[in-house]
């Protein structure tokens, strides 16, 4: 089966500075994968390269076996959605008006919003649990509410591959749990998920696979139990063992599993 | 404490009976939204009636008062007006008032499009320099190529369009750095380019080979005087405005999407560069229409879309017909005030508009202060 996303030996850099090099990863359909790594390691850039928003300086990106650069724009926009870290809106659009924009890939010059588009918008609003905010103005929402509206916008696009850039940011723990539940629900619906996550607690048990980007352009992939060992986390995040609950020998997620 | 942490971390999320599962009660039928459409239709009908009323009242006002009732009698009861009244009405006042309506509609739509394009509520064809470019183009046409015309369009009108397009492209590329448009840079670049261009029209006044024809016209460009057009010119411009508004319509949905930012719009299947070029072309068409009939009129394209957005929200599709009509009404009223305030001396409407728009612009600047801190 063709993987939905395949990066082989991908590198990206701006004129003077290389962000990452030699990254290879594959996402199979219906997987729920986490992308972790310290600040500035290029997680966001990797996600943008994966959607085709940025062109890699080396290597090859394939979305469903096709290069995003040559794939028709409409086809690509129905295949992949990236929920960005930040969304700046210049005017006072309501939540509903913003989420409706997610239907753009399905509209044409003369084809406006049809009933199925309205249904998709309603569904997206419900899934992200922002139906109650429908007529509120986006710029007046709290950080957590905006976060969920952005996810609704991504869902309205009805993508096969959903990339999320730090989706748990600004969410309290209750909303984080809801988000994880939502990601599992979407995975069960057949949507492939790749999310960059800062909260390593959430990665264990909730993601079937994790890619750890190290500051030395390394990429460690595997199931969370194997990848997120205290030693590896300590070296990737440049944080001494014992200085964080995750890095305690006795309380770390990995080793405490033995008690169960 | 530490054991608490480990407990939270260890328990699989799915095992915690917590959190709502909103997808379990997904509605089967989408909500109806017919009310919105009715509202829009009602607003458009209301504004259209107001426009007709303002035009009638404006036409009746002047040195010689012609009551609206007398006009109605002339049309419906074959009770003709005097010959002087007829001449004043059909050769001077009606063309002038209709021209001001066209100028107002064109400026308002151009303002709406440029504000959407630059994602900045302070853009306006005058402020970002498009009007200046159009004025220079029109001056070249009037002074140097007065005899030329292509398909019934004078060289002045065509060059006004060209001038506006070129200026917009220049300002746009000046304001854009690293794939982002900075609001302050945009306003500064537009101001610099626009001032340079609109003042350079003064050169045409000095070096005009046949001062009889050009002089008054050129002076009028700078101050924004709505000319009394020929009926033929009026008809041609109306057709252009209608064509422009129709071609602007599909761009409005894209402007809504562009509000999410270039990269997001691209992700949603919008060809960002093509869309931008189209918006600049259509916006320049409206600017050229406004400038060739009324010269440089500042701020109308700023105020009208802004107020409409406050009342109706930022959806460009809904704003298009509303700003067009509101702009027409606004300019018919201001032009009537301008020509009657110090009668028999006529005040250029551009000057009146500067006094209305300047304070409004400052109010916007203060309101948006947080965005412009250094």
Task: Return the domain boundaries, chain A.
Answer: 5-228, 229-260
Cβ contact, residue pair A184, B14, below 8 Å: yes
- Kindly list the residues from chain A whose CB atom is less than 8 angstroms away from the CB atom of residue B3: 251
- Of these ranges, A97-106, B124-133, B148-157, B208-217, the one predicted with the greatest mean pLDDT is A97-106
Distance CA B325, CA A146 (A): 35
Predicted TM-score (pTM) of the model is 0.86
When CB atoms are compared, the residue of B5, B25, B27 closest to A251 is: B5
> What string of H, E and C letters represents the secondary structure of B338-374?
HHHCCCCCCCCHHHHHHHHHHHHHHHHHHHCHHHHCC
Cis-peptide into B113, omega within 30 deg:
no
> CB distance A185–B14 less than 8 Å?
no
Q: What are phi and psi of B190, to 5 degrees?
A: -60, -45
What pLDDT shows up at residue A229?
Answer: 85
Q: What is the mean pLDDT of residues B261-285?
A: 89
Q: Which of B122, B246, B258, B260 would best serve as a mutation to test chain A binding (most A beta carbons within 10 A)?
A: B260
Comparing C-alpha atoms, which of A218, A83, A202 is closest to residue B268? A83
Query: What is the structure's pLDDT at B28?
Result: 54
Residue that has been written with the tokens 């409004």 in this structure: B360
Cα gap A220→A235, rounded to integer Å? 12
Across the interface, do B5 and A245 touch by the CB < 8 Å criterion?
A: yes
Helix (H, G, I), strand (E, B) or coil at A188: helix
CA distances from A231 to A35, A136, A244, B7, B20 (A): 18, 46, 12, 21, 36
Q: Comparing A13-17, A146-150, B11-15, B301-305, which segment has the lowest mean pLDDT? A: B11-15
Given a cut of 60, is residue B6 above it in pLDDT?
Answer: no
Q: Which residues of A touch B313 (CB under 8 A)?
A: 92-94, 97
Task: Give me chain B's average pLDDT, please.
Answer: 80
pLDDT of residue B15: 44
d(CA B230, CA B238): 12
Lowest mean pLDDT among A181-185, A255-259, B60-64, B300-304: A255-259
Query: Over the stretch B69-90, which tens digit does the pLDDT of each residue have?
Result: 888 888 777 777 788 888 888 8
Residues in chain A with CB shorter than 8 Å from the CB of B10 are: 253, 256-257, 260
| Residue (of B258, B313, B319) closest to A95 by Cα position | B313
Give the model's pLDDT for residue B26: 59
Chain B residues near residue A104 by CB distance under 8 angstroms:
253, 257, 265, 268-270
Could you tell me what percent of chain A has a pLDDT over 90?
35
Model confidence pLDDT, tens digit, residues B280-311:
889 989 998 898 888 888 888 888 998 888 88
pLDDT of residue A35 exceeding 50: yes
Q: Considering only the beta carbons, identify the residue of B260, B268, B309 that sits closest to A105.
A: B268
Q: Look at B148 and B283; give whichever has higher pLDDT.
A: B283
Task: Report the range of poorest mean pLDDT among A7-16, A54-63, A187-196, B206-215.
Answer: B206-215
> Which residue of chain B is at minimal alpha-carbon distance from A189?
B23
What pLDDT digit, counting tens, does each position of B177-211 carry? Answer: 766 666 678 778 888 898 888 888 777 777 766 65
pLDDT, residue B212, reads 60
Q: What is the pLDDT of residue B265?
A: 92
Residue A49 pLDDT > 70: yes
Instruction: For residue B224, name the pLDDT band (cuts at 50, 70, 90).
Output: confident
Question: Looking at residue B13, what is its pLDDT?
Answer: 46
> Pick from A178, A22, A166: which is nearest to A82 by CA?
A166
Name the residue of chain A whose CA is nearest to B16's CA: A177
CB contact A89 to B (< 8 Å): yes
Interface with B, mutate which of A52, A102, A103, A104 (most B CBs under 10 A) = A104
Q: What mean pLDDT do residues A63-88 have?
A: 90
pLDDT of residue B169: 87
Question: A24-33, A41-50, A235-244, B45-54 — which is least confidently predicted?
Answer: A235-244
Work out the average pLDDT over B110-137.
Answer: 87
Q: Which of A104, A129, A157 sits opposite B20 (nearest CB)?
A: A129
Q: Which of residues 128-187 of A touch B (CB under 8 A)?
A: 128-129, 131, 153, 157, 174, 177-178, 180-182, 184-185
The superfamily in CATH containing domain A5-228 is P-loop containing nucleotide triphosphate hydrolases (3.40.50.300)
Residue of A17 and B257 predicted with greater confidence: B257
Q: Do A74 and B269 lie within an 8 Å CB cutoff?
A: yes
Give the C-alpha separation, A169 to A197, whole Å. Answer: 8
Q: How close does chain A come to B269, measured CA to CA in Å?
A: 5
Q: In terms of pLDDT, which residue wins out, B77 or A160? A: A160
Smallest Cβ distance to B19: which of A90, A127, A181?
A: A181
Does B10 have pLDDT greater than 70? Answer: no
User: CB B6 to CB A78 under 8 A?
Assistant: no
List the 235-254 stretch of A: residues with Cβ below 8 A of B: 245-246, 248, 250-251, 253
CB contact under 8 A, B20 and A157: no
Mean pLDDT taken over chain A: 87
Using a CB-CB distance cutoff of 8 angstroms, which residues of chain B are in contact with residue A202? 13
Residues from chain A that touch B184, judged by Cβ atoms under 8 A, are: none
Q: What is the mean pLDDT of residues A120-132?
A: 90
Q: Quick: pLDDT tens for A77-117.
A: 999 999 998 888 888 899 999 999 999 999 887 777 888 88
What's the confidence (pLDDT) of residue B231?
Answer: 87
Question: Would you identify the CATH topology of the domain B89-365?
Answer: ABC transporter involved in vitamin B12 uptake, BtuC (1.10.3470)
Q: Nearest CA to CA, how far is A206 from chain B (Å)?
A: 7
What is the average pLDDT across B97-109?
95
Judging contacts by C-beta atoms under 8 Å, the chain A residues touching residue B36 are none
pLDDT: which is higher, A24 or B368: A24
Between chains, do A101 and B12 touch, taking CB under 8 Å as contact?
A: no
**pLDDT score at A164:** 94
The predicted pLDDT at position B152 comes to 62
Asked if B269's CB is within 8 angstroms of A105's CB, the reply is yes
Let me know: does B220 contact B351? Beta carbons within 8 Å. Answer: no
Query: Buried (b) or exposed (e) across A157-176, using 16+ Cβ within 10 A?
Result: bbbbbbbbbbbbbebeeebb
What's residue A101's pLDDT? 93
A208 reaches B (C-beta below 8 A): no
| Residues B328/B329/B335/B337 CA torsion (nearest 10 deg) | -170
Which residues in chain B touch residue A181, judged by CB atoms under 8 angstroms apart? 13-14, 19, 21
Residues paired with residue B150 on neighbouring β-strands, in sequence order: B153
Q: In chain B, what residues touch A63 (CB-CB under 8 Å)? A: none
Judge whether A67 and A60 are in contact, CB under 8 Å: yes
B5, B6, B268: residue with CB nearest A102: B268
Give the per-residue pLDDT at B23: 59
Per-residue confidence (pLDDT) for residue B12, from 0 to 100: 46
Q: Is the pLDDT of residue A247 over 80?
A: no
Secondary structure of B145-163 in HEC code, one letter for each residue = CCCCEECCEEHHHHHHHHH
């Amino acid at each position: 089966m063709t993987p939905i996303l395949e990066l082989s030996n991908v590198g990206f850099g701006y004129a003077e500075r290389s962000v990452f090099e030699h990254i290879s990863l594959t996402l199979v359909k219906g997987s729920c994968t986490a992308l972790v790594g310290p600040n500035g390691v290029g997680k966001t850039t990797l996600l943008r390269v994966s959607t085709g928003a940025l062109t890699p300086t080396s290597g090859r990106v394939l979305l469903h076996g096709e290069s995003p650069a040559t794939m028709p724009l409409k086809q690509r926009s129905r295949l992949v959605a990236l929920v960005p870290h930040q969304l700046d809106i210049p005017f006072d659009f309501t939540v509903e008006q913003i989420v409706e924009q997610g239907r753009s890939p399905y509209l044409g010059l003369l084809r406006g919003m049809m009933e199925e588009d309205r249904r998709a918008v309603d569904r997206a609003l419900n899934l992200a649990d922002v139906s109650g905010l429908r007529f509120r103005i986006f710029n007046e929402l709290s950080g957590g509410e905006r976060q969920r509206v952005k996810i609704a916008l991504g869902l309205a696009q009805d993508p096969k591959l959903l990339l999320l850039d730090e989706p748990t940011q600004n969410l309290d723990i209750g909303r984080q749990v809801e988000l994880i539940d939502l990601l599992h629900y979407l995975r069960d619906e057949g949507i492939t998920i790749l999310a960059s996550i800062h909260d390593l607690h959430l990665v264990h048990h909730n993601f079937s696979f994790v890619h750890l980007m190290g500051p030395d352009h390394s990429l460690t992939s595997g199931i969370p139990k194997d990848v997120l060992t205290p030693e590896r986390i300590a070296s990737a995040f440049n944080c001494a063992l014992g200085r964080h609950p995750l890095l305690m020998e006795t309380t770390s997620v990995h080793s405490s599993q033995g008690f169960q | 404490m530490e054991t608490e942490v480990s407990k939270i971390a260890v328990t699989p999320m799915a095992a915690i009976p917590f959190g709502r599962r909103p997808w379990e009660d997904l509605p089967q039928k989408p909500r109806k939204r017919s009310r919105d459409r009715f509202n829009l239709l009602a607003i458009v009908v209301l504004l259209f009636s107001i426009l007709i009323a303002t035009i009638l009242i404006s036409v009746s006002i002047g040195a010689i008062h012609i009551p609206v009732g007398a006009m109605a009698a002339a049309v419906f009861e074959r009770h003709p007006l005097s010959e002087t009244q007829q001449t004043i009405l059909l050769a001077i006042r009606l063309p002038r008032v209709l021209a001001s309506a066209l100028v107002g509609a064109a400026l308002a739509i151009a303002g709406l499009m440029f504000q959407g394009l630059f994602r900045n509520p302070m853009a306006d064809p005058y402020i970002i320099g498009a009007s200046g470019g159009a004025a220079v183009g029109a001056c070249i046409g009037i002074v140097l190529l007065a005899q030329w015309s292509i398909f019934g369009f004078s060289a002045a009108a065509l060059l006004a369009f060209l001038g506006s397009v070129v200026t917009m492209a220049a300002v746009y590329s000046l304001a854009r750095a690293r794939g982002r448009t900075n609001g302050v840079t945009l306003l500064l670049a537009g101001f610099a380019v626009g001032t340079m261009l609109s003042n350079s029209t003064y050169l045409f006044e000095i070096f005009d080979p046949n001062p009889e024809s050009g002089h008054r016209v050129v002076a009028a460009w700078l101050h924004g005087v709505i000319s009394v057009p020929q009926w033929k010119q009026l008809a041609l411009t109306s057709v252009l405005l209608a064509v422009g508004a129709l071609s602007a319509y599909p761009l409005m949905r894209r402007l809504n999407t562009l509000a999410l930012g270039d990269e997001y719009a691209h992700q949603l299947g919008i060809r960002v560069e093509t869309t931008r070029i189209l918006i600049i072309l259509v916006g320049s068409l409206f600017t050229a229409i406004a400038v060739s009939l009324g010269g440089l009129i500042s701020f109308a394209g700023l105020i009208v879309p802004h107020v409409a957005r406050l009342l109706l929200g930022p959806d460009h599709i809904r704003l298009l017909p509303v700003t067009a009509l509101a702009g027409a009404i606004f300019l018919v009223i201001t032009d009537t005030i301008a020509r009657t305030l110090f009668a028999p001396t006529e005040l250029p409407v551009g000057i009146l508009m500067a006094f209305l728009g300047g304070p409004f612009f400052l109010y916007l600047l203060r309101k948006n202060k947080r965005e412009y801190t250094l």
